[in-house]
């Protein structure tokens, strides 16, 4: 997840659709993706969601209705969204957004499989989080 590779398409256009809860993003290679906020939120690249290593991911639930209250540019390589549930620590590189958009089906299938394995419903509320002691909140 380093910065931009030379061949990474760059976004030409970015539209936040609050009602339908999708981020529409058009890239320089002609691809346009509509990425649901829920998918972005569930796959946030932040440590809070990804953990600090394989197997430490925190399964996110109850995000179907999550909205976007802000989208800040981060350098020239990505954006930092603020979600309606208060989550704002994920930095989404263009590369990562392109992957999320291009491989939505795989990401959704993976999410469904993880929910099933954990025996939780997609709409279950998140458990109250106890700090996990890494100093990030």
52 neighbors 66 (Cβ within 8 angstroms): no
Q: Which strand (E) or helix (H) includes residue 109?
A: helix 104-118
The overall average pLDDT reported for the chain is 90
CATH of domain 11-118: 3.30.2020.30
The closest alpha carbon to 82, from 27, 136, 16, 26, belongs to 16
Q: What are phi and psi of 22, to 5 degrees?
A: -135, 150
Task: Please report, for the chain, the start and end positions of each structural domain, with discontinuous segments joined by +.
Answer: 11-118
Window from 5-9, 24-28, 49-53, 60-64 with minimum mean pLDDT? 5-9
Strand ranges inside 1-137, DSSP E = 11-17, 22-27, 32-36, 68-74, 78-83, 92-93
This prediction's pTM: 0.87
């Amino acid at each position: 997840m380093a910065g931009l590779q030379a061949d990474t398409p760059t976004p030409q256009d970015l539209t936040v659709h609050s009602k339908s809860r999708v981020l529409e993003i058009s890239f320089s290679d002609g691809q346009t993706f509509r990425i649901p906020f829920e998918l972005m939120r569930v796959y946030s690249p932040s440590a809070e969601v990804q953990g600090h290593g394989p197997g430490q991911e925190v399964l996110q639930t109850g995000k179907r209705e999550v909205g976007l209250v802000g989208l800040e540019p981060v350098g020239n390589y990505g954006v930092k969204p603020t979600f309606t549930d208060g989550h704002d620590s994920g930095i989404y590189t263009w590369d990562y957004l392109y992957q999320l958009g291009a491989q939505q089906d795989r990401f959704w299938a993976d999410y469904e499989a993880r929910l099933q394995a954990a025996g939780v419903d997609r709409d279950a509320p998140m458990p109250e989080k106890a700090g996990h002691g890494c100093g990030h909140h």
